[in-house]
Amino acid sequence: MLEVIKQPWPWYVSGPLIGLTVPALLILGNKSFGISSSLRHVCAICIPGKIQFFNYNWKKEIWNLFFVSGIFLGGIIAAIFFASPGPTQLNPMLVKELAGYGITDFSSMVPADLMRWDKLLTLPGFIMIVGGGFLVGFGARYAGGCTSGHAIMGLSTLQWPSLVATVCFMIGGFVMANWILPFILSL
């Protein structure tokens, strides 16, 4: 059983399992799936002010913080106990392309050439980590939710704004992966 958990699952198994969280949340408690809203809940708990955006009954949404904590804890457990001992398997064409940018160490889930503290202190590292983090946070707030909320929950409940947001997320991801990221990596 443990070997089944350690292997990557095909899309036709993992996709429906993720998709089943939507009806489960709706049936069990009339709750909406989303991750970025948990940041608002944490701010509402921690910022005792009169800011209109954080002035709501956050206690009604405490379940969302447990849900996000479970995702975080599950990620830690998976990384510690279920990590594959071998190197990450990548398409040879991708390995060749990344080698052109000086990325050659694939000994972990994230290329070590990208995710090191000394890389953060470079211009490309700062742009990707700090700038990217800001843009993701701003985009999630501006779009009224994150990719998981819109693409999984919003589309399944046939919400027009979620379709627009998901299309924009996909276009943004394509532009980033094919044009902006190669430019940043070449700096």
Q: pLDDT tens, 20-39?
A: 888 888 888 888 877 888 88
Distances (CA, A) of 124 to 98, 113, 133, 159, 187: 15, 12, 13, 37, 7
Using an 8 Å Cβ cutoff, are 152 and 21 in contact? yes
26: Cβ contacts below 8 Å, ≥ 6 apart: 32
6 pLDDT band, cuts 50/70/90, is confident
Percent of the chain whose predicted confidence (pLDDT) is above 70? 98
Residue 64, classified by CB atoms within 10 Å of its CB into exposed (0-12), middle (13-18) or buried (19+), is buried
Find the helix packing angle between 62-81 and 37-46, rounded to 10°.
Answer: 110
Radius of gyration of the chain (CA): 19
> Strand, helix or coil at 112?
coil
Cα dihedral 115, 118, 120, 123 sign: negative
pLDDT tens, residue by residue, 64-112 = 899 889 989 998 998 888 777 776 778 899 889 888 888 888 877 777 7
